[in-house]
C-alpha cells in the first residue's frame, strides 16, 4: 500500500503517572498530542483514579518488572521526543536511566517532585536520583521554581539573579531550561517563567488565573513543549506556545477530573500550528494572547554559557 500521501504524525513518548479521569500525566499528554496532530506511546509510573484532591481514589505504583518491560518497549519505538514526568521511587528512576542508553531522540525531563504549598511529593532519595541520573540525560528540563531549587540544593535561598539561577540548572546538563511558576502575581494576574538555551535568556510573562486551582497545568505545559518540539519548534518557541496553551487551558477549566485544566477545550478555539516553526513568529502570535517574552541581560558576574547559538532543535 502506497502511503506517501498519508500525513506523518510525530510520535511522542511519555513516562509518567496516569489517571482514570482528568488531564494529568500521560492522559494530558495523549489528549493534547492527538489534538495537535501527534501520536503517543506511554509507560505508566503510577495510576490513580484522579488527582490527589480525591480522597476516595485508588492508586498504585508500577511493578518494577512490568515497568522495565514497558519502558524498554517504549524506547524501542524511538519516539521523536520523550517526556519523563512523575517517577515516584528511586528504583523506577534507575530503570528509566538505564533504558535511555538505547534512546536516540530528545529527552524532556519534567521533574515532578514538589511545590511550595505541599513540599516534596517524593522522598529525598528519589529527588536525588532524578537529579543525578535523569537531569544529565535531558535536552530540555521544565522544573517549577521549587523543584529547581531542590535540584540545586538551594534550601530556599532566593538571592541568585535570574541569569545565575538559569545557569546553575543549565550547568547540571540540560541544553534548554524552562523554569515554570518562577513568580506569581495574583493581584496583577501574571505568572513569570524563565528560559535559557545557554545562549539566549528570557523571562516570559503569561496570564495567571488564581481563582482556578490549576490541577494538571505543569503536565500540560511539559506535554505541550514536547509536542511542539516534535513538530519542529525550537525549545524557546515551544515554551512560548506552551505557556499560552496553559493559560487558555486554565481559563477553560471545568468540573471534569476535579477541575483539571482543559487543553482540549482550549485547542478547539486556538490553533497554534504554523506559528511554531519560527521564534519571531511564535512571539508575535503569543503576544495576541498576552504572553510576552523579554530578554534577561547578563550581569557582570554571570554571562551566557555558550558563545554561539545552539541548533534550532535538539536530537
Would you say residue 219 has pLDDT above 80? yes
User: What Rg value do the Cα atoms of the chain yield, rounded?
Assistant: 18
Would you say residue 2 has pLDDT above 70? no
pLDDT at 3: 56
The C-alpha atoms of residue 227 and residue 243 are separated, in whole angstroms, by 13
pLDDT at 57: 82
The C-alpha atoms of residue 199 and residue 152 are separated, in whole angstroms, by 20
Structure confidence by residue, pLDDT tens digits, 161-205: 999 999 999 999 999 999 999 999 988 999 999 999 999 999 999
Structure confidence by residue, pLDDT tens digits, 102-133: 999 999 999 999 999 999 999 999 999 999 99
* pLDDT confidence tier of residue 313, bands split at 50, 70 and 90: confident
Residue in this structure with the C-alpha cell 506523518, named with its chain if needed? 8
- Global pTM reads 0.95
Would you say residue 135 has pLDDT above 70? yes
Would you say residue 158 has pLDDT above 80? no
Would you say residue 155 has pLDDT above 80? no
The C-alpha atoms of residue 25 and residue 84 are separated, in whole angstroms, by 10
pLDDT at 164: 93
Would you say residue 233 has pLDDT above 60? yes
**Of the candidates 191, 190, 243, 246, which has an alpha carbon nearest to the alpha carbon of residue 215?**
246
The dihedral region occupied by 135, where left means phi > 0, alpha psi between -120 and 50, and beta the remainder, is alpha
The C-alpha atoms of residue 198 and residue 118 are separated, in whole angstroms, by 31
Q: How far is CA 35 from CA 48, 202, 227, 266, 273, in A?
A: 24, 28, 10, 10, 11
Domain ranges of the chain: 11-295
Q: Residue 132: how many CA atoms within 13 Å on its side-chain side?
A: 8
Structure confidence by residue, pLDDT tens digits, 254-307: 999 999 999 999 999 999 999 998 999 999 999 999 999 999 998 878 899 999
Q: Could you tell me which residues come within 8 angstroms of residue 280 by beta carbon, excluding any fewer than 6 positions away? A: none
Would you say residue 160 has pLDDT above 90? no
Structure confidence by residue, pLDDT tens digits, 18-47: 999 999 999 999 999 999 999 999 999 999
Structure confidence by residue, pLDDT tens digits, 42-78: 999 999 998 877 777 889 999 999 999 999 999 999 9
Fold of 11-295: 3.40.1190
- Chain-centroid distance of CA 95 in Å reads 20
Amino acid at each position: 500500500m502506497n502511503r506517501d500521501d498519508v500525513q506523518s504524525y510525530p510520535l511522542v513518548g511519555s513516562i509518567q503517572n496516569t489517571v482514570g479521569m482528568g488531564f494529568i500525566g500521560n492522559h494530558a499528554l495523549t489528549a493534547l498530542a492527538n489534538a495537535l496532530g501527534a501520536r503517543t506511546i506511554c509507560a505508566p509510573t503510577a495510576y490513580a483514579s484522579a488527582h490527589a484532591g480525591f480522597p476516595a481514589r485508588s492508586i498504585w505504583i508500577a511493578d518494577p518488572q512490568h515497568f522495565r518491560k514497558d519502558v524498554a518497549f517504549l524506547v524501542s519505538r524511538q519516539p521523536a521526543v520523550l517526556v519523563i514526568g512523575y517517577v515516584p521511587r528511586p528504583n523506577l528512576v534507575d530503570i528509566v536511566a538505564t533504558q535511555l542508553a538505547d534512546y536516540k531522540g530528545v529527552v524532556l525531563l519534567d521533574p515532578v517532585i514538589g511545590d511550595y504549598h505541599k513540599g516534596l511529593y517524593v522522598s529525598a532519595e528519589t529527588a536525588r536520583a532524578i537529579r543525578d541520573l535523569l537531569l544529565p540525560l535531558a535536552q530540555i528540563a521544565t522544573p517549577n521554581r521549587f523543584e529547581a531549587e531542590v535540584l540545586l540544593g538551594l534550601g530556599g535561598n532566593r538571592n541568585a539573579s535570574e541569569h545565575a539561577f538559569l545557569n546553575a540548572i543549565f550547568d547540571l546538563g540540560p541544553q534548554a531550561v524552562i523554569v515554570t511558576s518562577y513568580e506569581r502575581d495574583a493581584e496583577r494576574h501574571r505568572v513569570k517563567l524563565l528560559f535559557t538555551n545557554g545562549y539566549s535568556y528570557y523571562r516570559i510573562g503569561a496570564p495567571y488565573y488564581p481563582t482556578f486551582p490549576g490541577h494538571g497545568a505543569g503536565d500540560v505545559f511539559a506535554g505541550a513543549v514536547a509536542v511542539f518540539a516534535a513538530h519542529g519548534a525550537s525549545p524557546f518557541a515551544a515554551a512560548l506556545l506552551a505557556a499560552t496553551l496553559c493559560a487558555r487551558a486554565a481559563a477553560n477549566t471545568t468540573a471534569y477530573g476535579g477541575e483539571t485544566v482543559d487543553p482540549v477545550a482550549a485547542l478547539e478555539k486556538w490553533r497554534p500550528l504554523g506559528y511554531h516553526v519560527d521564534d519571531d513568529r511564535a512571539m508575535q502570535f503569543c503576544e495576541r494572547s498576552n504572553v510576552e517574552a523579554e530578554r534577561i541581560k547578563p550581569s557582570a558576574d554571570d554571562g551566557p554559557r555558550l558563545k554561539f547559538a545552539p541548533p534550532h532543535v535538539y536530537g
